[in-house]
Structure 1
Amino acid sequence: MEDIVDKALMRISSNATMSAIATVLTCVMRMRCRRKSVTYHHGEGKKQKIESRDAHICRVFSGYSHSCRDYIRMRPHAFENLVSIMRGSGLLRDSRDVKVEEQLLMFLNVLGHKTKNRIVRSHFIRSGETISRYFNKCLEAVGCIRGRFLKQAPMELAPEIASNHLYYPYFKDCIGMIDGTHIDAMLPASLVARFRGRKGVTQNVLAACTPNKLFSYVLAGWEGSANDYRVLQDALSRPQPHGLRVYDGKYYLCDAGYTTMPGFISPYRGVRYHLNEHRGRPINNRRELFNLRHSSLRSKIESTFGLLKNRFKILTAKPHYPFPTQVDIVLACAILHNYIAIVDLGDDLLNEDITIDDDDVEIATEGEDANLVDFSQNVTQREERDSRNEWKEKRDDIASAMWLDYCNKYRGGDTTEIGL
């Protein structure tokens, strides 16, 4: 009897063991099949993403005739040269998945069209973190080529002045024009009041450009509530090479928001100035003639600002970046503007005649002019006043020479003036 029971128990135990083994084997086989399926589908998905991304990049460069310029705001050969500079200097490197070309494509599209992160994600099928990371890397890399493409104005006579009888020899010592522009800014609530000015919450950007519409100096990050002269003082007080460089005997042309002082000549106040104010009206005296030609030459910086904002639409929209990044974006756009103007003279956007509204320029009165403090800290108030008067006399000499030549050429030598 006991033998029968033992045999039955052994049979039951054997069957249970076999069932357990069969169950384990079945589970293992199912897991292996599932793993193969997941791996297969993951590989297929990654392949599809790569193909879609490559197709998008191909459309940028090989689509319609201006697809590249419209997408990244520069032509293909300028882009290829920029890639070569970044890769050759080690400022940008190919990662395992993202090449330098793709990094710059994403970056330039954001600058040129104020494209949101989520839109770039759909174009390149990348994560938002990847887009943001490479945007910041490219922004830093462009800032590193500032010394190469954004140089201070040279002391030499500009060809654009030398070849124009309206400017030469009167402005032969002019090395550039300065002006300020406002760029929309986004800041924490605690800082908004400081940056709120006539044009809303903005940063006030001071820039100098040469007569060929290249930026020679850019100072960004000032509060929109700060007046232009205060920003200029800061630029002049900074040590080189970070400060605005002023050469002995040379000068910049500036509008009435500044003052005539060593290195800077503003127009006559109380005299019509802007080009549209002179249209259809005769020139009655030397001051009107000086202001007309001063405005004509200084308008080049307004045109340069217009070109900059027309190419890089990110400068015309409310930014959604930390404020230090907003400042860096302004500088990067100015550097890229110069880069394109240097390497691609035939760029269509550079040849457009665009200006920005300058109707609400800040006007300083003569009383305020007398109280302004020069950027040099080693002179007395009297020496400062004398130096400003000396430069006002220089402006008068230029105006007199202009008027004499103008009268000899167009008025038969009649130098009679009206309205002085």
Structure 2
Amino acid sequence: MWVNEILQGHPDRCYEMFRMEKHLFRRLCATLVDLGLKKSKKMGVEEMVGMFLNTVGHGVGNRMIQERFQHSGETVYRNFHKVLAACLNLSKANIKPLDPLFQRCHSKIQNDPRYWPFFKDAIRAIDGTHVPCVVSVADQIKFIKRKGYATQNVMAVCDWNMCFTFVIAGWEGMAHDARVFDNAISTPSMHFPHPPPGKYYLVDYGYPTLNGYLGPYRCERYHLPDFRQVAGFANNNEFIQAEDESVEVQEEDIDIGEASSSNLPESSRQMQRVRDTIRDQLVNHIN
């Protein structure tokens, strides 16, 4: 009755309760039914999905859902995992590149003079994040790292439409980003979309610089709070121009780093040359 009241009431209530508009909610229910979600004797599909979205959208526990939907804890647990299993099937069909061969350059890169032609071969961006999780007391130690509470280390790939094209979750919080990255690209069953020759992902400095994966220069200011602390930038959000002195200092620092990278494998040196080329093009463009 509560779910029906929400779906028949004001549109804002549906968005606030389920984090989803009415037409999207009904479309999601129909899609999950096609993927195998079935109603039970005492609960319909819309109530199952509403219970699931209310849980993940507001971060509430089983007891709160019991009170809201007036079902036992076992019923809430069982139906939550039914919807979760259907959503995992949905993810396989949607979390993937729209252009698996990466033949087209995205309009966000191609039509923006700040990025074109410097990043014309960049196809996606890879980064990691820590998501809070609940684990048993015996496993908590390996899930607690710098955050001070139990987390999962999640690696995600995002395209220029801000859509996820690959996600790997479940690694404990103490796992290094490079370990998660290596597991993703080296496990065939993960179906990781490897970059074709000449293309590359933009990665965080926590990941290794391999052929096809371009990381930033170390000890450089890339995050927004760092930009706001420097008076040499014209804009708080992006590097548009810099004073000639700061450019010279950066180039000197980079040359020192290059001299110490002679022992790196050829794949890493190749991506460093790509990064240096982009740097030189940007500096010339700014000047």
Q: TM-score range by the shorter chain?
A: 0.7 to 0.9
- Distance between the aligned counterparts of 1:115 and 1:166, measured in 2? 43
- Distance between the aligned counterparts of 2:156 and 2:250, measured in 1? 26
Indicate the larger mover: 207-216 or 182-191: 182-191
- Could you say what secondary structure the match of 1:197 adopts? coil
- Distance between the aligned counterparts of 1:233 and 1:370, measured in 2? 21
Cα separation, partners in 2 of 1:145 and 1:286, compared to 1, 3 Å: farther
Aligned partner of 1:391 among 267, 271, 276? 271
* Contiguous gaps of at least 5 residues in structure 1: 1-53, 290-365, 372-381, 408-420
**Counterpart contact for 2:197–2:212, Cα < 8 Å:** yes
Map of 1:343-362 to 2, 5 A cutoff? Answer: none
Shift of 1:223: 1.7
TM-score scaled by length of structure 2 = 0.84
1:403 aligns with 2:283: yes
1:57 aligns with 2:3: yes
Shift of 1:240: 4.8
Shift of 1:182: 0.8
- Distance between the aligned counterparts of 1:260 and 1:120, measured in 2? 45
Shift of 1:139: 0.3
1:86 aligns with 2:48: no
- Could you say what secondary structure the match of 2:171 adopts? strand
1:123 aligns with 2:68: yes
- Could you say what secondary structure the match of 1:146 adopts? helix
- Could you say what secondary structure the match of 1:68 adopts? helix
The aligned amino acid for 1:195 is: F
Aligned partner of 2:205 among 256, 269, 276? 256
Shift of 1:259: 3.3
Match of 1:14 in 2: none
Shift of 1:370: 6.5
Match of 1:137 in 2: 82
1:202 aligns with 2:151: yes
Match of 2:239 in 1: none
**1:73-128 CA deviation, whole Å, 9 max, x = no partner?**
110111111111122x2511222221111110111111101222222222222222
- Distance between the aligned counterparts of 1:258 and 1:85, measured in 2? 36
**Counterpart contact for 1:106–1:135, Cα < 8 Å:** yes
1:164 aligns with 2:112: yes
**1:39-80 CA deviation, whole Å, 9 max, x = no partner?**
xxxxxxxxxxxxxxx2x1233123334100110111011111
* Contiguous gaps of at least 5 residues in structure 2: 234-241, 252-256
- Distance between the aligned counterparts of 2:165 and 2:5, measured in 1? 35
Match of 1:73 in 2: 19
Shift of 1:261: 2.1
- Could you say what secondary structure the match of 2:188 adopts? coil
Aligned residues between the structures: 264
- Could you say what secondary structure the match of 1:74 adopts? coil
**1:360-406 CA deviation, whole Å, 9 max, x = no partner?**
xxxxxx79x979xxxxxxxxxx8x71221111011111111122122
The aligned amino acid for 2:41 is: R
- Could you say what secondary structure the match of 2:134 adopts? coil
Match of 2:237 in 1: none
- Could you say what secondary structure the match of 1:259 adopts? coil
Structure with higher RCO (Cα < 8 A, 6+ apart): 1
1:223 aligns with 2:178: no
1:213 aligns with 2:162: yes
**1:341-373 CA deviation, whole Å, 9 max, x = no partner?**
xxxxxxxxxxxxxxxxxxxxxxxxx79x979xx
**1:279-311 CA deviation, whole Å, 9 max, x = no partner?**
43241328969xxxxxxxxxxxxxxxxxxxxxx
Map of 1:309-320 to 2, 5 A cutoff? Answer: none
Match of 2:127 in 1: 179
The percentage of counterpart residues that share the same residue type is: 34
Cα RMSD for the two superposed structures? 2.5
TM-score scaled by length of structure 1 = 0.58
- Could you say what secondary structure the match of 1:278 adopts? helix
Indicate the larger mover: 59-68 or 143-152: 59-68
Cα separation, partners in 2 of 1:259 and 1:285, compared to 1, 3 Å: farther
- Could you say what secondary structure the match of 2:119 adopts? coil
The aligned amino acid for 2:247 is: N
Shift of 1:241: 4.7
